[in-house]
Structure formats: structure tokens, C-alpha cells
Chain A
């Protein structure tokens, strides 16, 4: 029982972590919140379903195609909406509202293109479950956790040890100084939004086989991802991962051992608790108090 709970907790936690990572990256790079993150997850799940199940592509190809589309989508949103508004120097609330409008469009476009019914994502692997310590675990769950961890590690190496990752961090830290050093800050910001969208879409593809594919898949997860990001320290990459995983584990543990009625309250309660008591989060990220 405990192992199964821990596994489903880490599946959820990894997904929260991926979403939270997107929020943190965007906040660091643009000082903005993107409320469409959860609906990009839904879009990713639907795209994955279309390529893999309806068109019969191999899973790997479907995965890559979904990622490419999400990347393009993230870049497009940054260019078409965020940059336009930033250039007009509007109040930040308009940008927040614009991302909410994007999330409405995404959610309802998915409904118009696909269906309001819940679709079941076919199995990715021929084996149903693996035995871990004598307990059967769904293969897709293991896959989800493994890919998430790989992805987080990959992002760490990209941001810390690659040339472009360093440029991205520099332009997030001080855009003007980075520009003076010859960094293309405009491209760096665009790529940040693209990576955030890619992470969310990937989370959707990983979650689809476990939870099913439906239009409101991402909206709750999107909002809970905020809680993960704040718990870790908003704007901190590692904080987002740790906070997300922690939130997933806490939520699953309490709902399996205490009561599942108020499962959703835990995430929002944690969010309020951290905002009020320790807004800098576990990693003591100062971005929040600026």
C-alpha cells in the first residue's frame, strides 16, 4: 500500500514539478505569471493522443511532435501577446488577464476540435506493470517519473553548463547588462516561454495514459502547480521541482491515509500558508519580495 501511494504521489508530484518549473522560468525571465500553463498541459495530452492513438505514430515520434508544437506555441504566445503588451507598457494586470484569455481559448478550442468526453490514452508499453519490492506498479507511472527526473536533470545541465542556458540566466538576471554583453535577450525570453510550454505539454503526455485525456485535465493541476512553485521558492528552478514533488507526496499521502474529501484543500492551504508565513519558500528565493 505505502509503495503504491508513494508512486502515485511522485507521479503527481513530478507533474506539479514540471508545471511549477514553467512558472518559475517565466517569472524569472519576464517577471510575469502565465495562467495558460495548465491548459498547455491539456493541449499536450490531446496532441499526444491524436498522434499516438488516432494517427498511429510510434510513441517516440508522437512525443517529439507534441514537444515541437508546444515549443512553437510558447514562442508564438510570447511574440504575439506578451511582447506586444510589454511594448505598450500596460499595467501588469492586463498581461495576467491576457494569459487567462489564452487559457480560455486553449481549453475551449480543445473542446471544439476534440471532444468533451474523456478519452482513454492507449497503453504505451506492452507490459502492464512491473514488480517493485513485490508490488505491481503501472509501467506508465514509472515512465512518467523517470522522464520527469531526466528532464529536470537535463534542464539543470542546459541552464548551468551550456552557452545558451547561461545566456538565458544572464538575461533573466539583468536584461540590460546581458544585452550589453552581446546576448540576444529577446531570443532568450522567447525560448524561456517555449521551454515552459514544452514542459507543460510533456507533463500532459506523461499524465494522459494514467489519468485519461479530457479538457479540464490541466486546469486544476495548473493552479496547484503554483502551490508547488511557491512552496519551493517562486522563481527558483530547483525550488519548483522540490516543491512540486513535495506537494504531490503530501497530497497523496494525506488523501490516502486521512481523508480524501478535502484533497484539493491541501494544495491551496499549503499555498496560503507559505505565502503568509514564508513567502520565500524552502529555497529562500528573494524574487517574491521584490
Chain B
């Protein structure tokens, strides 16, 4: 057991070191586009990890995470513009706001099961989007959108991709550490119990409603922060970014990677993002090809990429050992 732990931490350290060195290599090669892609990858990884808390661990589906993404993005931009709060603090406040909204919406929604929960989250996301498009007094810029500033940390501007890259990496690691600690605690075990059998979990004395609300709130914080990162990276936000397509993309990333794990959502977010960027070359057929590939992958590999690879490796290892391959 100790050996496994050691092997894992060595692997993580190597990965971290590689990520730290990556911009140096690309900058030396004069390429900034891959660094930008990695910046996007980091924020999508944070959002997808958050969604994984609610779906992968707690077993509750949300098809409306674009709403929390939007609250983080618009919240941060508006707090900075109208209240003059420095950008980094606005990101935190906006994410906390998303958390609050997540908890408020999760409370009545916690009674609903699968399909109807996904419907209510879609409806909620549509309401948020309509409010962005037709805000009272036009404070969100309506269809025009907003142009947030870049992040400034005590006067230090994160205005290059490389600077943003390190900021994103730092927060990704922090969010992952928090997730790791949470899912391996009493709270995480309660989430898993609810996922496996809600009635039994209730019978064991777990306050099901409270933990469901908690999972939603934590998840909303992750996605809200990712939204704020998006706003200050792209420095343009409009209602078109926060449609149901965005929510579906989060779900796709999570399912592609594999749910209920730390590494799964990271792999999924990266693969789907690169995939989408690659399809950009086909311009007007991008969404058509995306739909076709999505459908083919779902029908052919329903376990997600990470899950399929993992079960393939497991199978091979079992064969090598000469042991029986279990049917599952």
C-alpha cells in the first residue's frame, strides 16, 4: 500500500513538473497558442471536476452548470465594473455567489430524481440566460455582452497567456487538493452513500437533503470560479457563451473522462477541448461533426475514454497474471 502511494506521488510530481516547464518550452519555440489552449483546459478542468462532485460522487445530475459558469463570469465582471473591487477578489465573491445560488436551487430540487432534476436544472439555466440577455437596466450589457479586465494580483497584471497559465495551474492544484480531501472524508463517504442508495443512506442517519445541497453548492463554487477565470482570460463575455450547449459540454467532458475520480474529469476536459479546437478547421460543419463523433463515441464506448482504457489495462493485467477475467 505504501509503495503504491509513493508511486502515485512520484507520478503526480512528474506531471506537475512537466506542467510547470511546459510554457517555458513553448515560449522558447515561439508558440503561444498551445499555452492559451492549456489555459482553457485548466478552467474547464476545474469546472468539470466540480460537476464530478455532484454527479460522480453524489449521483445527482445537472444539465444547467452553464448557469453557475455565467454567474461566476458576469458576477466577477460586474463587481469589478460597478463596485470597483479588484479583479481577483471579485472572482472569489462571484464564486461564493454561485455557491449560494446553487444551494438555493438545490434545496427544492433535491426531492427530484434523475430526469426531472436534469429538467429543473435546464429550466434554471435558461432563466439565468434570459436574465443575462434582458437584464434590468441593461447592467449585463444584454446581447452586446461585457468586456472584463484581466486579473491583477496586488498590482501584478496577469495579462499574458504564460502568466495566466501559472495562475490557472495553481488554482487547479488547489481545487484538486480540496476535492481529494473532501471525497476522502466523512462528507465524501456520505456523497457516495447517497449515490449508491439514497434510502439506505437516509436510514444510516445521513441527512440526504443537506448533503445533496452541499454537493451542489461545492460544485457551483468550482464552476463559478471557472466562469470567472473564463471572463478574465477571454475578456469578453456574452449570453451566447452560456447556453445549454455549454452545460452539455461540461457533462460530455465529465463522461468522456470518467466520473467519480480525480484524473477522469481532467482527461475528459482536455480531450474534448482539443477535439473541439481541431474541429474548428471545418468551420460550418464543426457542430455537425461534433454531434456525429459524440453519438459514435457514446454508442461504441459508453464507459468514456478513461474508463475504457482503464478497463482494457485491467483486463490485460489480469490476463498476464493468468487470473480469471471477471465479467464486469
Residues of chain A having any CB pair with chain B under 8 Å: 27, 33, 81, 84-85, 88, 90-94, 96-98, 100-105, 107-109, 111-112, 223, 226-227, 230, 234, 261-262, 264-265, 268-269, 271-272, 275-276, 279, 288-289
Contacts and interface: CB of A to CB of B under 8 A. Distances in A.
Contacts of B295: 81, 98, 101-102, 105
A268 B123 contact: yes
Interface in B126-180: 126-127, 130-131, 134
Contact of A269 (B55, B108, B127): B127
B286 to A, nearest CB: 8
Interface in B10-53: none
Contacts of B91: none
Given A102-B295, A104-B288, A109-B288, A265 B119 contact: no
Given A97-B252, A279-B116, A288-B116, A102 B291 contact: yes
Interface residues of B, number: 39
Contacts of A112: 284-285, 288
B119 A271 contact: yes
Nearest to A109: B288
Q: Is the interface of A mostly helix, strand, loop or mixed?
A: helix
Contacts of B244: 223
A272 B291 contact: no
Contact of A272 (B124, B252, B255): B124
Contacts of A275: 109, 112, 116, 119-120, 123
B226 interface: no
Given A85-B302, A268-B124, A268-B127, 20 more contacts: A81-B299, A85-B298, A85-B299, A88-B302, A91-B302, A92-B115, A93-B255, A94-B255, A97-B248, A98-B298, A100-B248, A101-B291, A103-B291, A111-B288, A223-B126, A227-B123, A230-B116, A262-B134, A275-B109, A275-B120
Interface in B84-123: 108-109, 111-116, 118-120, 122-123
B251 interface: yes
Contacts of B111: 276, 279
A264 B244 CA distance: 15
A234 B127 contact: no
A33 B109 CA distance: 18
A268 B119 CA distance: 10
Contacts of A223: 122, 126, 244
Nearest to B293: A101
Nearest to A265: B130
6 contacts: A93-B61, A98-B298, A105-B292, A111-B284, A223-B244, A226-B122
Contacts of B122: 223, 226
Q: Which 6 A-B pairs have the closest CB atoms?
A: A104-B291, A108-B288, A105-B291, A101-B295, A101-B294, A276-B108
A265 B134 CA distance: 11
B312 interface: no
B294 A104 contact: yes
- Specify which of B63, B120, B284 lies most central, judged by the most chain A CB atoms within 10 Å of its CB: B120
A90 B55 CA distance: 15
B287 interface: yes
B130 A268 contact: yes
Nearest to B288: A108
B130 A262 contact: yes
A261 B61 CA distance: 30
Contacts of B126: 223, 264, 268
Secondary structure call for the B interface = helix
A230 B248 CA distance: 22
Nearest to A277: B108
A55 B106 CA distance: 52
A223 B287 CA distance: 19
B290 interface: yes
Nearest to A81: B299
B254 to A, nearest CB: 9
Contacts of B119: 33, 226, 230, 271, 275
Interface string B291-318: 1101100110010000000000000000
Contacts of B285: 108, 112
A273 B66 CA distance: 21
Contacts of B292: 101, 105
A269 B123 CA distance: 7
Pick from A94, A98, A272 the residue with the most CB of B within 10 Å: A272
Contacts of B118: 33, 96
Contacts of A271: 119-120, 123
B134 A261 contact: yes
Contacts of B116: 230, 234, 275, 279, 288
Contact of B294 (A92, A97, A272): A97
Interface string B263-299: 0000000000000000000001101101110110011
Nearest to B122: A223
A276 B122 CA distance: 14
Contacts of B288: 104-105, 108-109, 111-112
B29 to A, nearest CB: 35
A279 B299 contact: no
Given A98-B295, A108-B288, A272 B251 contact: no
A94 B302 contact: yes
A112 B283 CA distance: 11
